[in-house]
Chain A
Amino acid sequence: MEPTLSPAGYAALTILLLPLAAAVVALACPCRDPERTANRSIGAIALGFILSLGLFFFAGDKAIETNFNWLSVGDLKVSFGLLLDPLSKLMLLVVTGVGLMIHIYSRGYLHGDRSYSRYFASLSLFTFSMLGIVLANNLFMMFVFWELVGVSSYLLIGFWFEKNSAADAAKKAFLTNRVGDFGFILGIILTWAALGSVNFTELASAVELGGRLADKAAGFSVLAEPLGKIFQSTNWWLVHPNVLVTLVGLLLFMGAMGKSAQFPLHVWLPDAMEGPTPVSALIHAATMVAAGVFMLCRIFFLLDIPGSHALEFIAWIGGFTALLAALMALQQNDIKRILAYSTLSQLGYMVMAVGLHSPQSAMFHLTTHAAFKALLFLGAGSVILACHHEQNIWKMGGLRDAMPRTWWTFRWGTLALCGVWPFAGFFSKDAILAAALDPAHRNIPLFVLGVFVAGLTTFYMSRLVLVAFCGNARSEEASHAHESPGVMTWPLVVLAVPTLLAGAVGIDAYLAKALPSEHAPHNEGFLNNLFAPFNHNILAAGFGLLAVVAGYKLARALYTNAGRDPLPDKLGVLAKMARDRFYFDELYEWFISVTQETLAKVADWFDRWIIAGLLVRGTHGTTELFGRALRLVQTGSLQTYAFLFAAGVVLVLAWQLLLQSPAH
C-alpha cells in the first residue's frame, strides 16, 4: 500500500504522537516549574480529544488504513500502520476523553508531589502506548504497543517506589502480564504461520475467503490447510484442524487474559491499586485493562472461525472471573480494592460477552464502564484525599454531607455500575445478558451467573456507599473531611454526564457497523433507545433489575448504620475466604516457590555433579592421572633412557627387517 496519508490519517497520527512528544519533552528537558509539564501533557491529550471528536463525527464510517513498511524479513512484512474504523474511533474517544478528565484531575490530586513531572511524563507515555494499541492495523504493531503499555503501567503503579508494597505491586503486574504476553506472541506467530499475514484487514478477508470455500459441514476451516501442511511436513504432530484453530484463539486470548486480568491471571489488578488513585482510574478501570477486551473484539473474526471452540472457553473464563471477583469484593474493606474487584468483575462480563458471540455488547459495556468506573475511582480518590489517605471504608462514614459534589457523582457512578435504569450501565449490562439469551448461542447457565453477579455487584457497591458515605463518621479524619478542590470535582461532574447518558445515545448501533452481529441494534433516537431493552428482551432487562433490587434490599438491611461488618458472623468461613481472595496469591506463591525450589535443586545438582564434578574435576583428574603415570617413565636415569632408546631401535629394526621385507 502506498504511504499516502489522508487528512483523517494525519489527524490519527497527530493524536498518536502528541502524548509521545509531551512525554519526551517532559523527560528530556525537565523545567523548573512542574506545572508546565502537567499543562503540556494535558494540552496534548486535550488536542487529541478534540481531533478524536472530529474523526468520530466527520470522518465517515468507511475504514481508513495507512501503511508504512517498517521492516521485512523473508516473507514477513511488518508495517507500521494506522487503522481508523468505527471500533478504533470509538476507542480513541474513550481513551482521550476519559484520559483527559484524569489528566486534569491528577493535576489537583498530585499537587505538591516531588515527582510531579515524572508522573505526567509516564502518564503521557501510557496514553501514547494505549492509543498505539487502538490505532494499530496489525498484530505485531499491537504487540509492540501492548508491551509499551505494560512498561508504562509498571512505571505508574510503582510511582511511589519508596514504598515496598508499590514496588512489589509494579513487579507483580509486569510479570503477570508477561505470562499472558508470552501466549499472545505465540498466537501471533501461529496466526502468521497459518494465514501469512498479521494485518487485520488482510486476515479478515483471508478468513472470509476461507469461510466461503471451506466445507463447513466437516468443520473445516481456513486455518486447516496451511497449518496441516506445516505439521504434516514435519510430521510430528498430526492434529485435527479444529484443535489448531482453537489453539490460535486460545493463545491470542492469553494476551487478553493478562491485560484484562482474567482468571487465572487476575491477581495483579487488585495489587496495582498501590499506584496513585488517578492511575488506578486511568489504567485499571478505563483503558489498559480494556485493551484485552478491545483486542478480542478486533480479532473476533479469528475467534469465530467455524470449528473453533475458543469462544466457549472465553465465555466461561469471563463468567467465572466475574463471579469470583464479585465474591472477593464482598469482603474487602479498602475502598480502592472494592472498586478494583468490581473492575475485574465487569471485565469478566465483557470477556463473557465476547465469548457469547456478541463483541459489540462487550465494546458497549467497555465504553460505558470506562466512563463510570473512572468516575468511581476519581470519586474514591477525592474521598481518600479528604480523609487524609485513609482507605478503609470502616473508618469513613457520614461523608455525604461533607462532600456533596463527590457524593452525588459517586452515587451516579454506583447506580450505573449496578445497572439501574436509565443509567449507562443498565443498557450495556442488559445487552450482555440478552446476548446470553440469544437463540443462536443460548447459554442459560451463563445468563443465571450474569444475573447473580449483577445482584452481587449491587450488594457490594451498596455496602460501600452505605458504609462510607451514610451513617455517622467513624473516625477523626472522616468527621473533618471537606470537599476537594474544583480541579478534582469538575472532572467528576463531566464524567457523570456520559455515566447517565451514554447508554441510550446509540453506541451499540454505531458499533454494529464495525463488528459482525446477527441482529444489529438500530439507533432509533434517544427516547426510543431508552426503552429499547424492554422491547427487545424483557426477560434480560427484568431479571437484571430484579437482581439490582434484591442486592440493594439485602445491603440496606445489613449495612444501614452498621458499626462493623455483620457478614463474617453470618457466612463464617466463606466470608474469610472471600476476604483472603480465595487464597490465590498464597497458592501462586506456593506454586512458584515449589517450582523454583525444584528448579534450583536440579540446577544445583547439575552444577555440582555434572559441571563441577564431571567436567571441571573430571578434566583435572584425568590430566593429573596421566601426568602421574607418565612421571613414572621419567626416571632421570640416563641408562634407563639409553635402554629404552635401544629397545625402541631394536623394535623398529625388527619390524622393518622381519615384517616389511618380502617373504623369503
Chain B
Amino acid sequence: MNVGLEHYLTVSAMLFCLGLLGVILRRNVLVIYMSLELMLNAANLALVAFSRFNENLTGQMMVFFIITVAAAEVAVGLALIVALYRKRQSAHVEDLTSLKL
C-alpha cells in the first residue's frame, strides 16, 4: 500500500478530534491539558506531512516553533495546575467555579 498525503491528514484529523473530544468531555484539568497538547501535535503532524509532500521546508520550520512554544506553555501550564492543586486539593473543572456568580 502506498502511503499518501491523505493518510497522514486523516491520522492528523483523527488525533485533532480525539484531542477536542478530550477537551470537551474530560473533567480533569491535567487530562484537558494533555488533550490540548494532542491537538497541537495533530496540527504538527499535518504541517510536517504538507512540508514533506510539497517539498517545502517552511512547514517544518513552523513545527519547530510550535514545539518550542508548546514546551514553554507546558512549563507555565503545569506550574499553574500544580499550584492550583496545592491550593484546592482538586484538579476537577467542576470545583473551579469561584468566578461564577
A431 to B91, CA, bound (A): 116
Q: Size range of the interface on A?
A: under 10
Let me know if A637 and B93 touch, CB within 8 A.
yes
What is the chain A residue whose CB lies nearest that of B25?
A639
What is the chain B residue whose CB lies nearest that of A646?
B20
Q: When the two chains form the complex, which single residue of A639, A643, A646 contacts B93, counting CB atoms closer than 8 Å?
A: A639
Let me know if B99 and A639 touch, CB within 8 A.
no
Let me know if B24 and A646 touch, CB within 8 A.
yes
Which A residues between 632 and 650 are near B, CB-CB below 8 angstroms?
636-639, 642-643, 646
Let me know if B100 and A636 touch, CB within 8 A.
yes
Number of A-B contacts (CB under 8 A): 17
**B residues near A642, Cβ cutoff 8 Å:** 20, 23-24
B contacts with A, residue count (CB < 8 A): 10
A646 to B24, CA, bound (A): 9
**A residues near B99, Cβ cutoff 8 Å:** 636
Encoded as 1 (CB less than 8 Å from any A CB) or 0, chain B from 65 to 101 comes to 0000000000000000000000000000100010111
A642 to B21, CA, bound (A): 10
Let me know if B23 and A639 touch, CB within 8 A.
yes
Encoded as 1 (CB less than 8 Å from any A CB) or 0, chain B from 41 to 79 comes to 000000000000000000000000000000000000000
A643 to B20, CA, bound (A): 8
**B residues near A637, Cβ cutoff 8 Å:** 93
Let me know if B93 and A638 touch, CB within 8 A.
yes
**A residues near B24, Cβ cutoff 8 Å:** 639, 642-643, 646
**A residues near B23, Cβ cutoff 8 Å:** 639, 642
What is the chain A residue whose CB lies nearest that of B24?
A643
A643 to B24, CA, bound (A): 6
What is the chain A residue whose CB lies nearest that of B27?
A639
**B residues near A646, Cβ cutoff 8 Å:** 20, 24
A639 to B24, CA, bound (A): 5
Instruction: Report B36 CB to chain A, min CB distance, Å.
Output: 10
What is the chain B residue whose CB lies nearest that of A639?
B24
**B residues near A636, Cβ cutoff 8 Å:** 97, 99-101
A137 to B23, CA, bound (A): 94
**B residues near A643, Cβ cutoff 8 Å:** 24
**A residues near B20, Cβ cutoff 8 Å:** 642, 646
A637 to B99, CA, bound (A): 10
Instruction: Report B25 CB to chain A, min CB distance, Å.
Output: 8
A637 to B23, CA, bound (A): 12
**A residues near B101, Cβ cutoff 8 Å:** 636
Which B residues between 1 and 51 are near A, CB-CB below 8 angstroms?
20, 23-25, 32
Instruction: Report B69 CB to chain A, min CB distance, Å.
Output: 20
What is A's interface to B at a CB cutoff of 8 Å? 636-639, 642-643, 646
The 8 closest A-B pairs by CB, nearest first: A636-B100, A643-B24, A639-B24, A642-B23, A642-B24, A646-B20, A639-B93, A636-B97
17 CB-based A-B contacts, threshold 8 Å? A636-B97, A636-B99, A636-B100, A636-B101, A637-B93, A638-B93, A639-B23, A639-B24, A639-B25, A639-B32, A639-B93, A642-B20, A642-B23, A642-B24, A643-B24, A646-B20, A646-B24
12 extra A-B contacts, CB within 8 A, seeds A636-B99, A638-B93: A636-B97, A636-B100, A636-B101, A637-B93, A639-B23, A639-B25, A639-B32, A639-B93, A642-B20, A642-B24, A643-B24, A646-B24
